[in-house]
Structure 1
Amino acid sequence: MSDDAQPLTGRTALVSGGGSGLGAAIARSLVSDGARVVITGRSELTLKETASRLGPDVVHAVCDVSRPDDVARLAESLADEEISVLVNNAGIAGPVAPLTEIEVQDWDEVFDVNVRGVFLMCRAFLPAMTARGTGDVVNIASVSGKRPLLRRTPYCASKMAVIGLTATLAGEVGPLGVTVNSLSPGPVSGPRMERNFRLEAERTGSSYAEAEETFVSRSALGRMVSEEEVGAAVSAMLRMPGLCGADIDLSAGMVAR
């Protein structure tokens, strides 16, 4: 395959939450574009199995991005790697409940992973990028950060925070040669949405199929997006050198302004 077909040849990408779901799909897309990829997550077994499936250009490292000591150890272990792409994908869905029924520790856990994790990873890996005068950061946000999603206040608030972090950080490091953007997927077919539909069906007394249809009917295309589409979108963003400070919707038309 030619270098034109593999635009990330010679670059190393770090993908948090890369052991499964969106992270694994993003890693797969980056590998197909020629990148060497490091995936991180909390489960050694899951990471190892995913890395072995994705091929020899994928290595793994255990890291809880919400823990400063974990992120510091990760950065130290990768000191000899030239990480030029950072994809902050690690995130959790959090509780499905009215705000008044959400426990403080559940709220804090969502922000620790979804927002603090992005902060810690950027703080650890941006200095080397800015010193080289080149690099790309893609933060995985959500359309749920930009429109109401009832009974999901911690998740929605955390994703809006990621979008705000992205816009401001782009202004800080863009002049130093580093692009920072966010990708906001809509509902992605997979285990997380299946969990949400199940919980919503239990809450409302409806069937799983009814809960899914109510949600999916809001999209222009009448469907959710796939993990593979999210991976392809990250790759596409990295092919756009003029993209900086942007938030890209990938929602099958499920965005209400």
Structure 2
Amino acid sequence: MTAPRTGDQRLAGRTALVTGGGSGLGAVLTHALADTGARVVAVGRDEAALERTAAARPGAVLARQCDVSDPDSVAQLAGSLADEHIDILVNNAGVPGPVAPLTEVEPQDWDDVFAVNVRGVYLMCRTFAPGMTARSDGDILNIASVSGKRPLAGRTPYCASKAAVLGLTTTLAAELGPQGVRVNSLSPGPVDSARMRRNFTMEAERTGVTYEEAERRFVSRALLERMVTEEEVAEAAVAMIGLTGLCAADLDLSAGMVAR
């Protein structure tokens, strides 16, 4: 009797593309996918960071510079990957945006957040989904956020952009699911990372509290009273991609933040 294939084994030999793959969560996602035996294309704006990510998994990771918010840049990326079959697309690239009340957010700051967090997801899906539908197989995983589901004062552009990603995910799943392409989203809570440390610093400055208090107020909203790690998010991403029956789903990985 043949042993069933695990989710990780299902990824072996496939080609994945990870946006924002040069550093932080994107680099961890890239390495986690490479460790399953997948070939991974790490995409981002920082060429040096991408090369460092690729060097950590020699032969398994290919670095490609691209601004996902720019249609011409995305088209050039697709051209450079014309000989690749992108089986898995992980839309991870994102910017945190300002930490300020809505009335103090400048229109350009708002547009900058949506350009990467929403327009970038749209452009990447629009570009690489056709190859998946042609093969009647593929996985798209959009990295959303619990911030797209519950209030987070002072973070309106970011929260609105992640709510848009959730809507994009379910609608695209309805369009592509019948053609064999699974589209899902993963919604982390606060991830213990440089980005969150930046946010805590800005929130402390805005509200006049200490950094420690700003962090405590945020983390206390989670039932486990901690942040999740980048490694936990990557583990969840690999597991979701490995589930062949998962489509139009969103997974909260927030240490219980949405539940409270």
Please give the TM-score of this superposition, normalised by the length of structure 1. 0.97
- Does structure 1 residue 221 correspond to structure 2 residue 215? no
In 2, the alpha carbon distance for the partners of 1:22 and 1:169 equals: 24
* Partner amino acid, structure 2, of 1:255: V
Alignment-derived partner of residue 70 in structure 2: 67
Is 2:140 the counterpart of 1:137? yes
- Separation in 1, partners of 2:63, 2:118: 22
State the 1:6 CA deviation: 3.2
Could you say what secondary structure the match of 1:211 adopts?
helix
1:44 equivalent to 2:8? Answer no
Could you list the runs of 5+ residues in structure 2 that have no partner in the other structure?
none
Match of 2:131 in 1: 128
SS in 1 for 2:182: strand
Which secondary structure state, in structure 1, belongs to the residue aligned with residue 56 of structure 2?
helix
The one-letter code of the counterpart of 1:59 is L
**Equivalent of 2:88, from 61, 85, 89?**
85
Counting only pairs closer than 5 Å after superposition, residues 96-175 of structure 1 correspond to structure 2 as: 96-175=99-178
In the other structure, the counterpart of 2:180 is 177
Alignment RMSD: 1.3
Gaps of 5+ in 1: none
Distance, in Å, in 2 between the alignment partners of 1:181 and 1:7 is 17
C-alpha displacement at 1:54, in angstroms? 2.6
Helix, strand or coil at the partner of 2:62:
strand
The reply on whether 1:192 has 2:210 as its aligned counterpart is no
Where does residue 258 of structure 2 map in the other structure?
255
Amino acid across the alignment from 1:252:
A
Determine the structure 1 residue equivalent to 2:22. 19
CA contact (8 A) 1:147 1:256 kept: no
Cα displacement (A) at 1:256: 4.7
Give aligned pairs, total.
256
State the distance in 1 between where 2:242 and 2:86 align.
17
CA contact (8 A) 1:85 1:136 kept: yes
Partner of 1:54, secondary structure, is coil
Match of 2:57 among 54, 57, 63: 54
| 1:55, distance to aligned residue in structure 2 (A) | 2.7
Cα distance, 1:223 vs structure 2 = 0.4
Q: Post-superposition, which runs of at least 4 consecutive aligned residues in structure 1 deviate over 3 A? A: 3-6
1:96-153 CA-partner distances (Å, limit 9, x unpaired): 0000000000000000000000000000000010000000000000000000000100
- Tell whether the 8 Å contact from 1:6 to 1:32 is kept in structure 2 after alignment: no
